[in-house]
Amino acid sequence: MTQETILANAMLVLPDETVRGALLLRDGKIQALETGTSVPSGAVDCQGDYVAPGLVELHTDNLERHLHPRPKVNWPHLPAILAHDQEMAGAGVTTVFDALRIGFFQSAARNKLRKGYAREVATELRNLGEQGTLKIRHHVHLRAETCSETLIDELADFGPEDRVGIMSLMDHTPGQRQFADMGKFETYTRGKHDLPSDGFDDYVRFLQELRSRLGQTHENAVVEAAARCGAVLASHDDTTEQQVETSVQYGARLAEFPTTVAAARASKMRGMATVLGGPNLVRGASHSGNVAAAELADLGILDIISSDYAPASLLLGAVQLGQRWDNMAKGLATVTSTPAQAVGWTDRGRLGVGLAADVIRFKLVGNVPTLQAVWCKGARVA
C-alpha cells in the first residue's frame, strides 16, 4: 500500500533559506515541494512549525552508553541496540553512524577495562537493518584506538562487505591531544572505568609506553584498513598544525573535534570538514578544557556538529547556531546537508524532489527546539 503524507503550512528549511510551503512524502521519497500557506484536504497543518531534513549524525557514542551503562556492566546487545535506535529517532536523527571502539588491552593487569565488542555488534546492526527492525538508518563508524594492544587483530575482522562508513584515527594517550590536561584525564578515566587511585601513575606510564612502542604501526594499519574497507578516514583531536598535516597525508577527509583554533583552521584550509561536539556548543565549553565550539563557529571554521555523548545536543546545537548566525538554514546544514556531503551522500540531508523522505518537524519553545514528529524513508518513526 502506498504511504503518503502531506506536510503543509510549514516553514521549510531548504539548503540556503527558509520558506513557507508544503512537502509531499510518498514511497520513501519527497515527491513534491511547493511554497505557500494552503493546506490541502488530508494534509497535516504544521501551523508554521519548521520542517527540515532528518539529522545526519556522523559520530555518536550513544550505543556504547547503552551497551555499557555503568563500569563493569554489560547490557544485552539486542535491547541496547533497540533502545539506542529509538532514542536517536526521538532526537530527530534519521541517519546515524554508530561509533564502535576497536583497540583494547590484553595485559592481565588491565582486565578491568572493556574488551572488544565491535565485530559482534556490527553484525547485529547489519542483520537488524536488513530485517527492517530498526526505525532509522544505521552505519558503522570504527573508532580505532592506536594506544591499545588488540587493534590490528580487530581491524582484520572487518572488510568491504561490512560497509564501514567512517574510520577515525584516535590516540587518547594521556598528556597530549584531548588529554593534554592530566588532571582532567585522571578525572575522566577513573570515573569512566572505576579505576582506583592506587596505581594510576603506573597506568599512565603503561599507556605512554604502549603508544611509543606501537603507535606508528597502528596508525599505518588504520590508514590501510580504511582504504581496504572503503571508509572515510577521520582525524581525531588534532591539536597542532603538524598533526593536521599528518592527517592530511594519511588521506583524512574529516577533522573530528580539533582541540585548538590553530588545528581547526589548518584542517579547514587543507580541505577537511571540521566536526565539533554539540555538548561543547550547548554547554559553552569543552569538558576536557579544549577550544569552545562557539569560538570556532564565530571564526567560520565549524562545519559539522556531532552529538558525541548527548543525542539531544544535535538539533539544539544546530538551532543555536542558526540563531547565532541569524540564518536557520545555515545552522541546520551543520547537522543535515554538510555531514551528508562529507561522506559522499547526495540522496539525503536536503529537502528536494526525488530525495529521501527523511524529515523532521519541530517548533521553538522560547529558543529551544521541540520535536513534533520524525519520518524516515517516509514512515513516521517518532
What is the C-alpha to C-alpha distance for residues 365 and 334, in angstroms, rounded to an integer?
21
Task: Give the residue, 266 or 183, on which the prediction is more confident.
Answer: 266
**114 secondary structure, DSSP code:** P
The per-residue pLDDT for 210 is 79
Q: What is the pLDDT of residue 80?
A: 98
Domain ranges of the chain: 1-53+348-382, 55-346
Grid cell in block for residue 281: 556548543
How does the average pLDDT of the chain come out, rounded? 91
Tens digit of each residue's pLDDT (9 = 90 or more) over 88-110 = 999 999 999 999 999 988 764 45
More confident residue, 332 or 176: 332
E strand or H helix at 7:
strand 4-13
Q: Specify the DSSP element, H or E, that contains 137.
A: strand 137-145
Q: Residue 258 — very low, low, confident or very high, per pLDDT cuts 50/70/90? A: very high
pLDDT of residue 108: 46
- Specify the fold of 1-53+348-382: Urease, subunit C; domain 1 (2.30.40)
Q: Give pLDDT, residue 200.
A: 67
Distance, CA of 201 to CA of 134 (rounded, Å): 44
Which residues fall within 8 angstroms of residue 123, CB to CB, at 6 or more apart? none
Q: What is the predicted pLDDT for the residue at 28?
A: 96
Closest CA relative to residue 314, chosen from 348, 360, 355: 360
The secondary structure element, H or E, covering residue 333 is: helix 328-333
Q: Provide mean pLDDT across the span 122-130.
A: 96
Give residue 208's Cα distance to chain centre: 28
pLDDT tens profile 191-205: 555 565 666 677 777
Q: What is the pTM of this model?
A: 0.91
How confident is the model at residue 111, as a pLDDT? 46
Q: Which long-range contacts link 33-38 to residues 24+ away (Cβ below 8 Å)?
A: 33/351, 33/352, 33/353, 37/9, 38/8, 38/9
How many angstroms separate the CA atoms of 292 and 317, rounded? Answer: 13
Per-residue pLDDT of 180-233, as tens digits, reads 665 666 666 655 555 656 666 777 777 888 787 888 999 999 999 999 999 999
Q: Are 124 and 85 in contact (CB under 8 A)?
A: no
Mean pLDDT of 64-87: 93
**Number of residues that this document lists for the chain:** 382
Q: 55-346 in CATH: which number? A: 3.20.20.140
